[in-house]
């Protein structure tokens, strides 16, 4: 078999057997394209020709290119899953990745804005203009519920449940969770749904997505990113400090600062592993040094 037919077999297994999301499948495909391109440049035509030493060489080349440990670890996961699939299908006899260790990840604290900065950005979007009503609801929901950008784009009218107090969210791996819809997010969403959404859908009763563009289509990730940057810039927040995912980080960090249980935050974020959520304890504790310097008489 060739790399092309092998990766096609793997992609099919991800989508139809493991039922992974389209975004996850696309991420695996990108990483495997990078890996197989490297191997082809070294004269390899299929997985059976690849050795452990060549995989080590690939990881070393990635490091020399300046790839972060997180990126290298993610790409190795894709390669490992690829070879595991081929061995299970008896396409290859030996898995050269079995003894390859993942690069150690550096602990990178997520970027967060202060509560005051988030409030300034949200409160600056006001008035009856349909676009303002939509953008305020969009950002309030993302920040108030800790949603990923893809989850926000996928929200449908029927996902607002329990008389508007809860939001049903379809997360990674098609895992469903229910999160509280706070007062501010609930008010903004109600205003948008009652006064503006119909203008964006142009009366199309078959359109069920909540957030709609001026072209009467559901939002894309890029569209949400543009709105977040634009609204942040309006209150002086630099572009390199804000993104849709930063709002998700802010949700978790601000909840933790106000005493929320980390297990509850894990559930609301849809993290499968508590270790992923615990990064926010580092964000919170990083403030201790600042407070010590500011208030301790001998600091």
| CA–CA distance, 80 with 50 (Å, rounded to integer) | 12
Alpha-helix residue ranges (DSSP H) falling in the chain? 3-12, 22-41, 52-64, 69-88, 115-123, 130-145, 149-154, 183-195, 197-201, 221-233, 244-257, 262-269, 274-277, 279-285, 287-295
1-31 burial code (b ≥16 CB/10 A, e <16): bebeebbeebbebbeeeeebbeeebebbbeb
Domain spans in the chain, listed from the N-terminal domain onward: 3-88, 115-291
Phi-psi region of 9 (alpha: psi -120 to 50; beta: other; left: phi over 0): alpha
d(CA 293, CA 181): 37
Is pLDDT of 124 > 80? yes
Is 168 a known active-site residue? no
Q: Is it true that domain 3-88 has CATH number 1.10.150? A: yes
How far is residue 174's CA from residue 206's CA, in Å, rounded to a whole number?
23
Question: For residue 293, what pLDDT band results from cuts at 50, 70 and 90?
Answer: low
Residue 220 has pLDDT above 90, yes or no: yes
Confirm whether 172 is a catalytic residue.
Answer: yes
**What pLDDT score was predicted for residue 296?**
58
Q: pTM (2 decimals)?
A: 0.65
Task: List the structure tokens of 261.
Answer: 């249980």
Residue 148 catalytic? yes
**Residue where the block lists tokens 């900065």:** 117
- Among 33-42, 126-135, 190-199, 276-285, the range scoring the smallest mean pLDDT is 276-285
Out of 172, 177, 187, 229, which one is annotated catalytic? 172
Q: CATH assignment of 115-291, given 2.40.110.10, 1.10.443.10, 1.10.10.10, 3.40.50.2300?
A: 1.10.443.10
The answer to whether the 3-88 and 115-291 domains have the same CATH topology is: no
Residue 282 a catalytic site member: no
Residues 130-145 have pLDDT tens digits of 999 999 999 999 999 9
């Amino acid at each position: 078999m060739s790399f092309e037919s092998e990766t096609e077999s793997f992609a099919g297994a991800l989508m139809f057997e493991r039922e992974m999301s389209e975004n996850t499948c696309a991420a695996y495909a990108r990483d495997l394209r990078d890996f197989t391109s490297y191997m082809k440049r070294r004269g390899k035509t299929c997985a059976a020709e690849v050795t452990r030493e060549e995989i080590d060489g690939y990881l070393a080349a990635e490091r020399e290119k300046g790839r972060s440990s997180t990126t290298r670890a993610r790409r190795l996961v894709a390669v490992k899953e690829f070879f595991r699939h081929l061995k299970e299908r008896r396409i290859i006899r030996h898995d050269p990745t079995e003894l390859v260790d993942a690069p150690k990840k550096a602990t990178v604290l997520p970027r967060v804005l202060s509560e005051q900065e988030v409030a300034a950005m949200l409160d600056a979007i006001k008035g009856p203009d349909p676009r303002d009503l939509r953008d305020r609801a969009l950002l309030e929901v993302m920040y108030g519920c800790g949603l990923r950008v893809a989850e926000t784009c996928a929200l449908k009218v029927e996902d607002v449940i329990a008389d508007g107090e809860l939001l049903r969210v379809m997360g990674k791996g098609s895992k469903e969770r229910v999160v509280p819809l706070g007062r501010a997010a609930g008010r903004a969403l109600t205003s948008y749904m009652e006064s503006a959404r119909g203008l964006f859908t142009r009366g199309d009763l078959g359109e069920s997505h909540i957030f709609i563009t001026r072209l009467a289509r559901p939002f894309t990730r890029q569209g949400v990113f543009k709105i977040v940057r634009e609204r942040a810039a309006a209150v002086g927040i630099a572009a390199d400090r804000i993104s849709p995912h930063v709002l998700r980080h802010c949700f978790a960090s601000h909840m933790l600062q106000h005493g929320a249980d980390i297990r509850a935050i894990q559930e609301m974020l849809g993290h499968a592993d508590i270790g992923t959520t615990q990064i926010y304890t580092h964000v919170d504790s990083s403030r201790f040094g600042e407070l010590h310097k500011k208030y301790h008489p001998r600091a």
